[in-house]
Amino acid sequence: MNDYRRAVRTALYLVYAFGVLLIIAAVGLPFGVTWYVEAKGRDQTLPATIMLTSYPCMPFVGIAILSVKKLLNNVLSGLILGDKNISLLRAAALSCFAVTAITVAAGRLYKPFFIVALCAAACGVTLYSVKSIFGVMLSEQREKEARDIEENL
């Protein structure tokens, strides 16, 4: 019965790890990209392209990570279907779509950003679909409760 709690805790640990990786990426990106360009002999404009694309994406990634963290904490607290979880899923999905837009625009300069855009779009569509399913389930639950109240009166 409580098997979902183990899965949610595992997902929560992964979300914490992603948050730490985001911070490490924010701090280490300039050093890592310049080292890569020098070591591999790549184009000297590559660091600027990567940093001018990555840094605008980082706040949106942070919003998505925090939204999923709050959602998982709500699920651990017993709130699965609720307006708060639906708004958290919406925020995470919209953040993914923002990352998609930024990386598609940058894909013209550096083709691997198209792969990032595709992954962000897939995450956004998945989160938005789950949000929509939760919304339908919540409205059906509320309608059922309203019918039960009417029948009892």
Tens-place pLDDT, residues 93-134: 999 999 999 999 999 888 999 999 999 999 999 999 999 999
Q: Residue 40: its pLDDT value, please?
A: 84
Domain that holds residue 90: 3-152
Residue tagged 């660091």 (tokens):
47
Reported confidence tier of residue 68, pLDDT bands at 50, 70, 90: very high
Q: Looking at the 3D structure of the chain, how many domains does it have?
A: 1
Q: Which two tokens stand for residue 108?
A: 């013209």
What is d(CA 64, CA 131) in angstroms, rounded to the nearest whole number? Answer: 14
Q: Name the pTM for this structure.
A: 0.86
